[in-house]
Amino acid sequence: MKGEGQGSYDDIICLPHPVSKRHPQMPLSDRAAQFAPFAALTGHDEAIKETARRTDSFVELDEGQREKLDRRLQMLLAKIGERPLWKPEIRVTYFRPDPVKDGGAYVSASGFLQKVDLYRRRILFTDGTSLPMENLFSIEGEPFRDLDG
């Protein structure tokens, strides 16, 4: 028979919605939050993303590549010594190790060369950028066009 048994609300469908006089009604935004997914393992999503994040492997330069890089650094030092106001535009690529996991990334920076600091092993640009010389991969730019071509 209709109206009887499980799933029938005929007996209460016309009744007014009960409202407590003691407890204020929960705002809609808070009510929605109770249905948000539960993260039993806090930080688990971040750990998965970190594990999935790709890093590059460090590539060891061969003897020829190291010699080319050394010649370019020596050339820059000699020209700066001859002409202290000379500020060539160069592009430096180096390997930056990842602080969290094995590997890292090859990073490039361009600008006008201020100084090659052999004592601190840094390449300084006129805009204040300071790059480490360790793990240096390449130096390109206008001063080397005659060498390259």
Q: With a cut of 70, say whether residue 3 has pLDDT above it.
A: no
Tell me, yes or no, whether 10 lies in a domain.
no
- Chain-centroid distance of CA 9 in Å reads 57
Mean pLDDT computed over every residue of the chain: 85
Tell me, yes or no, whether 18 lies in a domain.
no
Q: With a cut of 80, say whether residue 106 has pLDDT above it.
A: yes
Tell me, yes or no, whether 19 lies in a domain.
no
pTM over 0.85: no
The fraction of the chain above a pLDDT of 70, given in percent, is: 89
4-61 pLDDT, tens digit per residue, is 556 688 888 888 888 888 888 888 777 777 777 666 667 777 777 777 778 888 888 9
Tell me, yes or no, whether 20 lies in a domain.
no
71 contact partners, CB below 8 Å, separation of at least 6: 147
- Which residue is it, tokens 């361009």? 110
Q: Which domain holds residue 145?
A: 25-149
Q: What's the domain count of the chain?
A: 1
Q: What does the pLDDT read at residue 69?
A: 92
Tell me, yes or no, whether 128 lies in a domain.
yes
Tell me, yes or no, whether 13 lies in a domain.
no
Helix then strand then coil, % of the chain, to nearest 5? 30, 25, 45
Looking at residue 139, what DSSP letter applies?
Answer: E
